[in-house]
């Protein structure tokens, strides 16, 4: 390990000071450090050439770094300065111990599956991105339904009249998908979950798919002619009638430090109040 990029979320008050402390620690271990101050998650940073990346923020900061690091096989060391912290598994009180263990090869990055999203307009690919959490398709105008056709491996599943559709990875199942009624999926399970948002029909339920297949979502003519697809809640692209959103499994995995299955279930117990008592 010779070079590290520290990504600081400028909206977190502690990020800059903690970044300085981590930078000083790494320099003592003969690791060159550069900094990137993240304002908006659709801004671009250069991740190539780094041996690892440290993120200082919440899960959103990790999502930003994971998308950029995955194509290069660069591990992300995510220090949690947010609230929920399902993905940012390193706590700020233990960063030094955990970072030393990582540098010594005792804390191994965990691979998390990602999605690949491609938007086809008039036969041309107008947008392409990987994502760690999800792809969400909704109306550009609030409180208006869309008419969507969902196809899996060229087999039509039917027409979905709803406020939108979420397709999440196992990692992203604890994000927007679960708030819309989708299942929580063990992050070590290789699966996609499709969750409708406020479906017009009660018969439309969340579906879990083998990610080795291809999901395609077609925007059909309806009262509302415009939609938007958003990757990881950060990368939006406008859609119109006849556009097709194709979702497949990304060829690269996100490499995350400290995101063990033990930490995942500890976060569930803590955040969802799995105590079995009167407040559960």
Catalytic residues, by residue number, are 59
Q: DSSP readout, 183-248?
A: PP--TTS--EEEEEES-SSTT---EEE-TTS-EEEEE--SS--EEEEEETTTEEEEEETT-EEEEE
The token pair that represents 262 in the structure block: 């033990």
Contact (CB, 8 A) for 33 and 6: yes
Residue 221, exposed/middle/buried by CB under 10 A (0-12, 13-18, 19+)?
exposed
CA–CA separation, 15 vs 61, rounded Å? 11
**Which of 93, 65, 86 is closest to 77 using CA atoms?**
65
How many CA within 13 A on the CB side of residue 86? 22
How many C-beta atoms surround the C-beta of residue 87 within 10 A? Answer: 32
């Amino acid at each position: 390990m010779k070079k590290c990029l520290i990504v600081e979320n400028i909206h977190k008050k502690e990020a800059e000071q903690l970044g300085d402390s981590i930078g000083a620690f790494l320099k003592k271990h003969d690791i060159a450090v550069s900094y990137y101050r993240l304002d908006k998650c659709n801004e671009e940073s250069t991740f190539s050439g780094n041996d690892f990346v440290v993120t200082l923020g919440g899960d959103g900061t990790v999502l930003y770094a994971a998308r950029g690091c995955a194509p290069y096989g660069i591990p992300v060391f995510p220090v949690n300065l947010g609230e929920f912290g399902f993905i940012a598994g390193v706590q700020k009180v233990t960063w030094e111990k955990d970072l030393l263990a990582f540098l010594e090869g005792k804390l191994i990055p965990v691979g998390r599956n990602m999605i690949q999203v491609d938007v086809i307009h008039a036969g041309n690919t107008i947008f392409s991105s990987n994502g760690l959490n999800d792809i969400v398709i909704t109306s550009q105008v609030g409180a208006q339904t869309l008419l969507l056709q969902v196809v899996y491996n060229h087999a039509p599943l039917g027409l979905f009249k709803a406020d939108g559709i979420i397709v999440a990875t196992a990692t992203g199942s604890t994000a927007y998908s679960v708030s819309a009624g989708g299942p929580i999926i063990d992050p070590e399970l290789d699966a996609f979950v499709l969750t409708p948002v406020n479906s017009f029909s009660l018969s439309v339920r969340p579906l879990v798919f083998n990610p080795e297949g291809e999901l395609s979502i077609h925007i059909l003519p309806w009262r509302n002619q415009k939609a938007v697809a958003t990757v990881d809640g950060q990368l939006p692209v406008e859609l119109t009638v006849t556009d097709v959103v194709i979702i497949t499994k990304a060829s690269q995995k996100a490499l995350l430090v400290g995101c063990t299955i033990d930490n995942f279930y500890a976060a569930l117990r803590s955040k969802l109040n799995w105590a079995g008592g009167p407040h559960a």
